[in-house]
Chain A
Amino acid sequence: MTTDSPDKIIDRSAKLVFSFFLSSAGLWLLTAALFAYIAAAKLTDPFFLSSCEYLTYGKIKVAQANAFVYGWGGNAIFAVSLWILARLSQAEVRGSFFLVLAGVIWNLAITFGLLGILDGHMSGHEMLEMPTEVWPAMLISYLIITFLALVIHRSRQIKETIAPQWFILAALLWFPALFLIAWHGLEINTARGTLQTVLSMWYGQSLIWLWLTPVALGAAYYLIPAVLGRTIDKYYLAIFGFWCIAALAPWSVVHHLEGGPVPMWIPAIGTVMSIAMVFPIAVASTNFHATAFLDIGKVWDSLPLRFVIFGTLSYTVSSYIGVVFSLPAVAKITQFTIINEFHFNQRVYGFFSMIIFGAVYFALPRITGREIPIAAKSFHFWTSTLGVLLLLLAYLIGGLTHGVLAGQPSLEWSSAVIGSIQPYFLITKIAFVILAFSQLVFVVNVWRVIFPNPLRLLAEGKKEVSA
């Protein structure tokens, strides 16, 4: 009788939790894809489903963002964070029952929250549109999961911590802090006037920068060395990059308020801090790409890593573009245009989701012991790449057109300005169809591994015995 390696034991302890969060994440991904298609279709044909009050463009668009960030993003963060923390701590995942229970509550809360939005109970705060009734359930279930993640981390074998742990732990801890701040300022001790907007804008943007972003960066810091079998190049910079993000990101996000009815110092600080963000972006980019390009052949051959490097490249490019768009001279043109959609989709699809896909393809075979067919993974990679690039290019070029035309007061709004960007809405609709298809492949890949056909398992078992 052979003893299992410690990694095997840890993977086995994570199996239930990882499978649960990942399969729920997959369902949310498909829900968001459906919403995204409906929203895009409504922009190309305003009469599409127009008689249904539950599906107005405003509601669907918001429901899509929430399903994506909290449903797909939240569940994927739980799955990937718990597994990476367990692996790095060399400690087993404990309290699986409570983790799954909390996960069920989280998912139910989001389900009711989205139904609430569609039923017209939107709160009107950015990324907090779900009705306040579900907020306590979200917070409690989240805290249970974070607590158990911290338990894993506390029982680690090696006291020394490394970059993936900082990023993932910080993200796990920042979310409830942000959530409580927003809850307090918006609902408990409600701020008056545009203070509400400052706070909800700050929350909504920080959610992307301090929750989704660090988890994806942490996963990249873990996966690149793990696959390539080499250490991160110029690793000593990572700590500087981490604290730069921690210190600058919460300040930089408010530059979107440029010119609005808020004190001028708020967007001004946002702009200055956005420019300062080039440092952490450069650090992460150097760490990832200097390491990856030492062994680019291996990156290309490993599908998980191909996803990760696509994500990190996307992060670098999009963040630099974000810095340029925060400059007041540029913001004057791009503010309030569909460039906002470019930023959002760039972050959540091009960067966060791509890295999560990579992490899942890396972890899933190790956890379940079953491989995903390479052709299926490859198909997923190419369709996502195509869909993401098409979507982002359409939003980028369409957004610039939108901004330039809107800046000419002689052009009539709906026929001349919005009419000119309608072709780009058609392209985004096509891109969302491609992405939906690609995500369906991903979810089928994942579900087939998590819930294998029992007959096939039996057949495989027989083969092993006869061998």
Chain B
Amino acid sequence: MNNLAKFTIGIFLTLGIAWLAFVVGAREQYGDLTPSPQSLDEDGSVPVDADLFPVDLSGLAKQGAEEYASLGCVTCHTQQVRREETGFDVERGWGKRSSVPRDYVLQEHVLLGNSRIGPDLANLGLREYSDEWLHQHLFEPQSMIPSSLCPPSPFLYDEIDEPFHSDIEVSSGLDEDNTRYIRPSIRADRLVAYLQSLKQDYELPEVAFVEIPTEEEVVTEEVVDDSVIASTSVPTWLQQQMEAGKEVYMKAAAGGGMCFTCHQPNGEGLAGQFPPLAGSDWVLGDKERLIKISMYGLMGEIDVNGVKYNNVMAPPGIPPGSLTDDQIANVLTYIRNDWGNSASAVSADEVATVRSSLKGRAPMQMFTAAELTPAE
């Protein structure tokens, strides 16, 4: 310890061994990873003419990655789906499988991140948001998700007084008069191209899509439920509509309604957070209100069976607000007739009528309970 040279060698040795492992060793192990086909032939060779994954980003998206890095998005957003045994990421719907090193080999800046004040973005491109939705969100996140903490980026947009048809309409959820028109700058376009390119939607030899076991449990429940429906000898057309509606209710992927994540598969909701649908005066009551909520969502305080809830229901559907007239009719018929509920079915024509009556309303503009309750 008294000889400076020996001391220096000692402390550099301890550091150097760790360096050998994490830098030299790790590079030796997987520094030469290259894109690969989704699966290999049985003898381990690469199939001829197979597409290789991951694919390189478009030029615009690559520039968008630079914008993403320079604005510091990585401070709040990760881009990694953890393995099932180490996290809940796949269950949360943030990816079809865990991320593996090969997913990142073509990226110039690897922005894994280590903090999630915002959601993980590794598969943002799979959530089927429209470009317009992303622009609206970047301009003012709170106009799309009122509770968002994401800071607005108005400096990426020009606000337009006399809108052209391609300009994007933004209305803040709280104030209806506050409708503005924005024109994305090239930087905003790059960023959106990058965000849309974020997807790990391919399998690799080392990793397959995760089968979520809870889905299987749901299937078994479904069988039981179906027998109940059948035993009460409802007409076939109603049974078909309810089955289609249940699919919308339970589906947590594109084209689904994902209703069960809040209202629960048993329609009981979560006490204090999400109101029940079973026995609900809202569900069994006026159809028009239900249809409006199914198109535009609902926010703020609502009184269900005498209990007050205060939460945000984004426009149902993946992507939000995307349910078709048929789907809305089916899912509403389903929730009005399962779990002991019994009320008249909803038809696609009724939904279409309500939709045309709301033509002037901005897309995604959520209703409030007060708006839906007729003045006395």
* A and B form one complex: yes
A258, closest chain B residue (CB): B86
- CB contacts under 8 Å to A, within B106-130, are 107, 109-112, 114-119
- Look across to chain A and name the residue whose beta carbon is closest to the beta carbon of B1: A161
Assembly CA distance A269 to B21 (angstroms): 10
Q: How many angstroms between the C-alpha atoms of A150 and B157 in the bound complex?
A: 54
Partner of B2, one of A43, A159, A262, A419: A159
Smallest CB separation, A111 vs chain B (Å): 19
The distance in angstroms between the C-alpha atoms of A335 and B81, with both chains bound, is: 12
* CB within 8 Å of B: which A352-398 residues: none
Q: Does A94 contact B (CB under 8 A)?
A: no
Contact check, B147 vs A415: say whether CB atoms are below 8 A apart: yes
Complexed CA–CA distance, A258 and B115 (Å): 13
A272 to chain B, nearest CB (A): 13
What's the tally of chain B residues with a CB closer than 8 Å to chain A? Answer: 81
Shortest CB distance B122–A (Å): 9
Which residues from B are CB-within-8-Å of A413? Answer: 118-119
Bound-complex Cα distance A409 to B252 (A): 12
Inter-subunit contact B104/A194 (CB<8 Å): yes
B142 and A56 contact, CB distance less than 8 A: no
Q: Which of B1, B4, B26, B100 is within 8 Å of A266, CB to CB?
A: B26
CA distance A422 to B148 in the complex (A): 11
Q: In the complex the two chains form, what is the Cα distance from A234 to B30 in whole Å?
A: 46
Question: Smallest distance from the beta carbon of B314 to chain A beta carbons, Å?
Answer: 8
Q: Is residue B285 contacting chain A, with contact meaning CB distance below 8 A?
A: no
A6 CB-CB contact with B under 8 Å: no
| A170 CB-CB contact with B under 8 Å | yes
Partner of A332 from the list B86, B91, B155 (CB cut-off 8 Å) is B86
Other-chain residue from B21, B92, B152 in contact with A46 (beta carbon distance below 8 A): B152
A304-345 to B contact mask, C-beta < 8 Å, 1/0: 000000000000000000000000100110011110100000
In the complex, B273 has a CB within 8 A of chain A: yes
- For A57, A58, A194, the residue with the greatest tally of chain B CB atoms inside 10 Å of its CB is A194
Per-position contact with A for B257-274: 1 when CB-CB < 8 Å, else 0? 000011010000010010
B72: interface (CB < 8 Å): yes
Chain B nearest CB, measured from A416 CB (Å): 7
**B interface footprint on A252-270 (CB within 8 Å = 1, 0 otherwise):** 0010101111110010010
Contact A58 B115 (CB under 8 A): no
Chain A residues within 8 Å of B264, by CB:
410
Question: B112 — which chain A residues lie within 8 A by C-beta?
Answer: 194, 197, 260-261
Contact of B114 with A196 in the complex, beta carbons under 8 Å: no
A119 to chain B, nearest CB (A): 9
The reply on A423 being an interface residue by CB < 8 A is no
How far, in whole Å, are A260 and B88 apart by their CA atoms in the complex? 12
> Judging by beta carbons under 8 Å apart, are B4 and A150 in contact?
yes
Residue on A nearest B147 in the bound complex, by CB: A415
Is A57 touching B151 in the complex (CB atoms < 8 A)?
A: yes
In the bound complex, CA of A123 to CA of B110 (Å): 11
Find out whether the CB atom of A246 lies under 8 angstroms from the CB atom of B72.
Answer: no
Asked if A406 and B155 sit within 8 Å, CB to CB, the answer is no
A4 at the interface (CB under 8 A from B): no
A191 touches B12 (CB 8 A): no
List chain B residues, Cβ under 8 A from A76: none
Let me know if B27 is at the binding interface, CB within 8 A.
yes
CA distance A238 to B2 in the complex (A): 15
Q: Are B141 and A46 in contact (CB under 8 A)?
A: yes
CA distance A42 to B301 in the complex (A): 26
Nearest-CB residue, chain A, relative to B108:
A190
* Residues of A in contact with B, size category: 35 or more
Q: Among A46, A153, A177, A340, point to the contact of B115 (Cβ < 8 A).
A: A340
Most buried by A among B15, B91, B111, B262: B15
- B73 CB-CB contact with A under 8 Å: yes
Q: Does residue B59 face the partner (Cβ distance < 8 Å to A)?
A: no
Does A181 make an interface contact (CB < 8 A)? yes
Given contacts A247-B14, A250-B15, contact A191 B27 (CB under 8 A): yes
Given contacts A124-B109, A406-B88, contact A58 B72 (CB under 8 A): yes
Q: Does A62 contact B (CB under 8 A)?
A: yes
Are B15 and A210 in touch, CB under 8 angstroms? yes
Contact with A along B289-326 (1 / 0, CB 8 A): 00000000000000000000001101000000000000
Contact (A331, B86) CB under 8 Å given A57-B72, A192-B31, A202-B22: yes
| A169 contact set on B, CB distance < 8 A | 4, 7
Given contacts A263-B26, A413-B119, 18 further A-B contacts (CB under 8 A): A43-B149, A47-B151, A50-B154, A53-B153, A58-B75, A124-B109, A191-B27, A202-B18, A243-B10, A261-B80, A269-B21, A335-B114, A337-B116, A340-B115, A409-B88, A412-B261, A414-B119, A418-B147
Using a CB–CB distance below 8 Å, which chain B residues touch chain A? 1-2, 4, 7-8, 10-12, 14-15, 17-19, 21-23, 26-27, 29-31, 33, 69-76, 78, 80, 82-83, 85-88, 91-93, 98-105, 107, 109-112, 114-119, 141-142, 145-155, 261-262, 264, 270, 273, 311-312, 314
Return the 4 tightest CB-CB contacts between A and B, nearest first.
Answer: A58-B72, A259-B86, A259-B82, A250-B18
| Chain A residues close to B by CB (< 8 Å) | 42-43, 46-47, 50-53, 56-59, 61-62, 120-124, 126, 150, 153-154, 159-161, 166, 169-170, 173-174, 177-178, 181, 185, 191-199, 201-202, 210, 239, 243, 246-247, 250-251, 254, 256, 258-263, 266, 269, 328, 331-332, 335-338, 340, 406-416, 418-419, 422
CB pairs A–B below 8 angstroms (29 shown): A46-B141, A51-B152, A51-B155, A57-B76, A57-B151, A58-B73, A120-B71, A166-B1, A173-B11, A174-B15, A177-B12, A191-B27, A193-B107, A195-B30, A195-B31, A198-B22, A246-B11, A250-B15, A261-B98, A261-B100, A266-B22, A332-B87, A335-B86, A336-B114, A337-B116, A340-B115, A409-B91, A415-B145, A415-B146
